[in-house]
Structure 1
Amino acid sequence: MEVLKNILIKKLESSKIMLDIKHTLLNILCKTAILSIFLSFAIPAIAATDTIKNANWEKVPGTEPSQANIDANQYDEPAFLNTNGIIKKGGIVMYDIVNPDASYARLQTNCQTKNFRTIRVGQFISDSKVEYQNIVGEWGKASELYHILIVDFVCSL
């Protein structure tokens, strides 16, 4: 009887140890998952660079700050579009622009629907080199005068 009692005690102790190990592992997994979620929010997207070759930056008519409802006190330049870099694929036109604040963006426009979206944002690090991040902009109708002027201009080329 004493032997049976000792065997049962050892089994219970080993079961308790296994339960403690299982509990500890689950706790570690939960903390690791939470940490990875926080790190994914804290780590910024990695920027890439690109060289824009043979650019022909044309002023987008009407985008001067005084004409396109842009704060003329903040910006004094119009938007410029690289007409040499336009890529047409199906009904979609892809192109690079320089905004009045000198920021860089790559846009896609559907000239039939007049919908557009931004797929890159960044800034120039030299005359022909940009540092950018790819983004997944939502398709939307050009509603602000500034965007309407850009869409109309690129679709007229």
Structure 2
Amino acid sequence: MKPDPWAPHVTVAAIIERDGRFLFVEEHTADGLRLNQPAGHLEPGETLLDAVVRETLEETAQPFTPQALVGVYMTHVERRGRDGATYLRFTYCGSCDAPLPGHTLDSGIVRTLWLSADELRACPQRHRNPLVLRCLDDYLAGRRFPLDLLHTHSVSPIGPGTTGN
């Protein structure tokens, strides 16, 4: 059997600012409790925008409205005793509404918290990965790209009696 072709893990993240503070999650990882933007993996059939809205809601209980793309980031992580992994992260910025009553946080998320950029910079050992600060720095530098920069094109299988365009 031929092995699956290599593919990066596609992830999304949300930067949400309110009164000079940013929404983060504290989550359990293999390396202990870490800080991250609300973030997660793209699921089959989702658009990148659908994924960032879903992940933010799952991890913070707050509905997210993306307003711009901050950047696209690639990182490779070496893992002891296993193959490394490559991640392709699409980071969006936007706003969120108040937490939905009765909505529980995703498994592994301990809590949400609002931190200033200086508070985040003061604890780099607690960041989930180096992209946490890099994405925030890009946001603070004013990097914004329109949401229509990225396009989703889905191809459906062509069955009998149908034509493709």
| TM-score, normalised relative to structure 1 | 0.24
Q: Rg larger in 1 or in 2?
A: 1
- Larger % of strand: which? 2
Could you say which structure has the greater relative contact order, defined with CA pairs below 8 angstroms and 6 or more residues apart?
Answer: 2
- Larger % of helix: which? 1
| TM-score, normalised relative to structure 2 | 0.23
